[in-house]
Amino acid sequence: MSDNDQSESTETERIAKRIARAGLCSRRDAERWIADGRVVLNGSVVTTPATGVLPTDSIEVDGKPLPAIQEPRLWRYHKPSGLVVTARDEKGRSTIFDRLPPELPRVISVGRLDLNSEGLLLLTNDGEIARKLELPSTGWTRTYRVRVRGRVDADRLASLADGITVDGIRYGPIRAHVDNQQATNAWVTISLTEGKNREIRRVMDHLGYSVNRLIRTSFGPFQLLNLSRGGVEEVPGKTIRDTISGQRQGKAQSKWAKAKPKAKRPASRKSKKGPPGKSDPAEKPPGRPTGKPNADRRR
């Protein structure tokens, strides 16, 4: 056995993280499973998610061996309206997982979109990736095209840049501007970084604008672009390494770090981009921003 192999065989990680990296769930879900007594380590029920495990340890979840850690993968998915983002719905409604292509491996979503919301949703086979990208500390901007009822006051939208409190809940800075005002409706582009539960709908209702359509067009560097409704497209591995590897921890990070670094290009004076969410004010097909595609578009 080489020195490297020996060091790897004695390196421990928290069992909740190990379960998340196997793609079964997020780390938060793994912690709940452990609290429910569903996880067994080397024949004994695990009582704390902080338990350290070795690569050689035997782990079972619900009586089944934990799957081997797979290479991290990520997909862009155009969620249609009318589907819930959950593995099982207590009301019997259709879920996104009922509609995904059968050839996809088991995946989990990065965050959620409401039943009546549509647009970009990221899917991954790695629970640790999902957890990292969901955290507000990641700071990635989510951009939406929103259709609201009524005539919109641009000054009231601009005031959202300072944040707003609605029904005792404090929402952080929101960038919003009108793209197209019609007789009874307006299309508005909204960008935010927190993404609290039903944040946009609640803030717009507070301002007196009822949301009748909400489409997420980007999540950090990943864009909806022209992905068809219900369509799924895998993000190239190189893009994952370039955009996510800096946020990873543990062995997976060191594994990705072995990839050949991208050669630096001299800065171009014409390479400046506008702020996320910038779009042509003219009416465009919803969910198809007019800016330049980002790095996750296949070539």
The sheet carrying 39-41 orders its strands as 44-45, 39-41, 59-61, 64-65
Hey, how many other C-beta atoms are within 10 angstroms of the C-beta on 210? 12
Which tokens hold the place of 243?
């955009």
- Could you tell me what percentage of the chain is helix, strand and coil, using 3-state DSSP and rounding each to the nearest 5? 25, 25, 50
Catalytic residue (one of 57, 89, 114, 242): 114
Whether residue 167 lies in the annotated active site: no
Alpha-carbon distances of 206 from 15, 62, 198, 201, 259, rounded to whole Å: 43, 45, 12, 9, 48
Question: Residue written as tokens 């991954």?
Answer: 124
Tell me the residue ranges of DSSP E strands in 6-101.
13-14, 39-41, 44-45, 52-53, 59-61, 64-65, 74-79
The torsion of the CA quartet 101, 104, 106, 112, rounded to 10 degrees, works out to -60
Tokens of residue 54, six digits = 């070795």
In 10 A of CB 67, how many CB atoms? 15
Of 133, 123, 108, 112, residue with least CA distance to 74: 123
Phi, psi of 227 (to 5 degrees): -65, 125
Q: Is 25 helix (H, G, I), strand (E, B) or coil?
A: coil
Instruction: Give the catalytic positions in this structure.
Output: 114
